[in-house]
Amino acid sequence: ADGSIEFVASDETVDRSGESIPASSWDLTNYLKSPRLLVDHDYRVESIVGIADKTRVEGKELKFTPKFHEITELAKTVAQMVIEGVLDTVSVGFMRNQDEKGNVKNELMEISFVAVPANPNARMLAVKSIDADETKAIEAFLKSSVKSSVCAGGRYDNIIEAFLGKGKYPAVGVSFGVD
């Protein structure tokens, strides 16, 4: 088990802007040198929340696995929102290039976590199963980003769907703790 979360950044669906990006047109050459993950297409350095690992075209989908850093509060917040299934959508920033023969290549510039993506299929696919060491690493990460808590809770509908792979199941969780 690798404990990773996989996303579709783009597919060939006609998006809310009325365009469709053929998977074969993606140019990842420059992006793979610095595969930045941003928030809301904000190109400022403080909006970098991690890297897009394993970015690739697979079939008719552009996919990646997010790797969050632990440097800024924004990155910690986004990571926790993704882990809890609250934030499960992304959007791509790209530059359309056309050569003299009319061939189009779309250079991927960045991938951003967004509340509403142009492509409705640009979202989290699944949380892959994790082993005991990975569970400890996640717990350590969450402890480092939460100052103290007496009570916490939330909805986990999307995370259950990710594990089971079908249907939505209403679910809530709650925890109590004493430091």
Residue 132: which H helix or E strand, with range? helix 132-145
User: What is the three-class DSSP state of 168?
Assistant: coil
Task: From 158, 39, 145, 51, select the one nearest 91 (Cα to Cα).
Answer: 39
Report the pLDDT value the prediction gives residue 178, as an integer from 0 to 100: 47
Which tokens hold the place of 86?
């609250």
* Assigned token pair, 95: 């530059």
Write out pLDDT tens, residues 89-104: 999 999 999 989 989 9
Confidence class for position 143, pLDDT limits 50, 70, 90: low
What gap in Å lies between CA 127 and CA 15, rounded to an integer? 25
Specify whether the CB–CB gap between 109 and 31 falls below 8 A.
yes
Give dist(CA 45, CA 49) in Å, integer.
9
